[in-house]
Amino acid sequence: MNNLVYDAANDQLVINNLPFDGDAGRYVNTGIKALPEFQVYASQQVGEKGHVQYYAVYSQSAYSRAGAAGSGNHINGEGGGIYADFGHGGAMIGRASNNVTRPTGELRYDGNYAGILVHDDATSPAEAITLSSGEVLVYVDPNDFDLTGAIHGFITERFEYDTNGTRIGALEALVLDETSAFTDSGIIEGTAHSGDRTGTYSAVFSGPNSEEVVGAVRIADPTVQETGVFIAAD
C-alpha cells in the first residue's frame, strides 16, 4: 500500500498497490458504525477481479487524514491459505499542509484509534480479519530533552469487532513508548507494544500550530498483526 485517497463524491477509498483487491482498488463504505470517528471500507469482488478480501478503516479532520488496510490469508468466500504470513496491507497518514509550527510547552492530545487485525492462524475467511477501536492519549514535551523533545502515549478502551461490526471483546492497552526522535519538521518515530505484541509507530504534527497529531501503529506477535491509525487533538 503506497497511496490512499478518499473519494468524497462516492464515499469510497481508492487504495494503490495492493494485489487482487478489485478493479481500480476501490473500497466501498460498509456502513459499520462501531468504530468512533472512523468508517470501515471493503474491497469488492466482481467476477474474477478482487478475489482477496481487504478491509480498511479511515478518518479525516480539518488538519489530518489517516487510513489502514489489511487482508487475511484466505481467498474471498473460500477456505485455503494464500499467504504464509499476514498478507498485504499498510497504513497512510497525512496532513492538509506541511506548514506546521512545532508546538511549545507541554501538551496533551486526545482522540480516536482504529485498526485492522490479521489472524495468521485463522481457519476461515470470517476469522481472518477483525477490527479494533480505542481512545488515544498522547503527551508531548517539545522542550525536554534538549533539542529533541519527548513524546509518549497510550491507547486504551480498546475493543475488537468482527467485520460485521459486532463486538467480540476487549483488547489490551497499546503503549506508544517514550521517544525523543522527532524533528522540527514534526516527524515522530518510536516503538510500541500491547501485551506480547511489539512493533513501531510513526506520527506527525498537523495544523498550522500543531493542533493535532496523526499517527500509524503496527504491532505483531507470531499469529496476529495489527495495523492501526489515530488522530488526536490538543
Task: Give the model's pLDDT for residue 95.
Answer: 92
Largest CA distance in the chain: 58
Task: Give the model's pLDDT for residue 80.
Answer: 55
Among residues 11, 127, 18, 98, the alpha carbon closest in space to that of 58 is found at 11
Q: Any bridge partners for residue 135, and if so which?
A: 112, 156
The residue-averaged pLDDT of 36-58 equals 93
Task: Give the model's pLDDT for residue 115.
Answer: 98
171 pLDDT higher than 90: yes
The residue-averaged pLDDT of 47-56 equals 89
Task: Give the model's pLDDT for residue 146.
Answer: 78
The residue-averaged pLDDT of 64-69 equals 98
Highest mean pLDDT among 131-135, 148-152, 210-214: 131-135
Task: Give the model's pLDDT for residue 169.
Answer: 97
Give how far Cα 71 sits from Cα of 56, 81, 117, 141, 227, Å.
9, 12, 9, 37, 11
76 pLDDT higher than 60: no
The phi, psi pair for 25, rounded to 5°, reads 60, 35
* Residue 225 pLDDT level (bands cut at 50, 70, 90): very high
The residue-averaged pLDDT of 133-141 equals 96
70 pLDDT higher than 70: yes
Give pTM, 2 decimals. Answer: 0.93
* Residue 127 pLDDT level (bands cut at 50, 70, 90): confident
* Residue 81 pLDDT level (bands cut at 50, 70, 90): low
Find out whether 124 and 232 touch, Cβ atoms under 8 Å: no
Task: Give the model's pLDDT for residue 203.
Answer: 94
* Residue 101 pLDDT level (bands cut at 50, 70, 90): confident
Q: Where are the domains of the chain?
A: 3-233
Higher pLDDT, 105 or 64: 64
Give how far Cα 146 sits from Cα of 107, 129, 142, 159, 204, Å.
17, 43, 8, 37, 19
Q: Which three cell numbers stand for residue 66?
A: 489517516
State what percent of residues in the chain have pLDDT above 70. Answer: 93
181 pLDDT higher than 70: no
Task: Give the model's pLDDT for residue 182.
Answer: 62
Hey, how many other C-beta atoms are within 10 angstroms of the C-beta on 43?
Answer: 26
* Residue 104 pLDDT level (bands cut at 50, 70, 90): confident
